[in-house]
């Protein structure tokens, strides 16, 4: 299955929705049964849909934490898609911004079978002024 830009944009939107809802079925629907999910350049690797769902549900984010995210497709080549975006968390001590890059491989059913995610803390507006 070759994904279109709209297909991948929809998947990225569902990724955000699943992260926000914390619903196991929404998380699981994103990924193939044998998915490999690596973060920060492979420093953390999770194998299998059940393990990814468990990892998301065990994430240490406070349920009342306000956050927003926006991701968009950057490139698509057959079943491999690259997305970029940003995530912003609002904490008592201030705002925290991250830049995100996703490299995803999809199976024939449109589920992600491999996800490599890089996230980098973005400098705060004050840090940018100081530099």
Q: What is the per-residue pLDDT for 93?
A: 84
Can you tell me the mean pLDDT for 9-32?
95
The Cα-based distances of 126 to 68, 81, 94, 122, 123 in angstroms read: 20, 34, 11, 11, 8
CA-based nearest residue to 22, from 70, 50, 61: 61
Question: Residue 45 pairs with which residues in a beta bridge?
Answer: 38
Cβ(55)–Cβ(47) below 8 Å: no
pLDDT band at 125 (very low <50, low <70, confident <90, very high): low
Please tell me the pTM assigned to this model. 0.88
Q: Is the dihedral of CA 16, 71, 89, 52 positive or negative?
A: positive
Question: Residue 44 pairs with which residues in a beta bridge?
Answer: 39
Greater confidence (129 vs 40) lies with 40
């Amino acid at each position: 299955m070759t994904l279109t830009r709209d297909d991948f944009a929809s998947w990225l939107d569902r990724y955000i929705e699943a992260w926000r809802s914390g619903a196991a079925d929404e998380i699981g629907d994103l990924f193939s049964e044998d998915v490999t999910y690596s973060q920060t350049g492979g420093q953390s690797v999770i194998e299998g849909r059940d393990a990814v769902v468990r990892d998301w549900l065990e994430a240490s984010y406070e349920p009342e934490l306000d956050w927003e995210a926006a991701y968009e497709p950057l490139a698509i080549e057959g079943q491999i898609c690259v997305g970029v975006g940003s995530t912003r968390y609002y904490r008592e001590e201030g705002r925290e911004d991250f830049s995100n890059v996703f490299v995803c491989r999809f199976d024939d059913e449109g589920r992600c079978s491999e996800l490599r995610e890089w996230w980098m803390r973005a400098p705060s507006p004050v840090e940018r002024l100081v530099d």
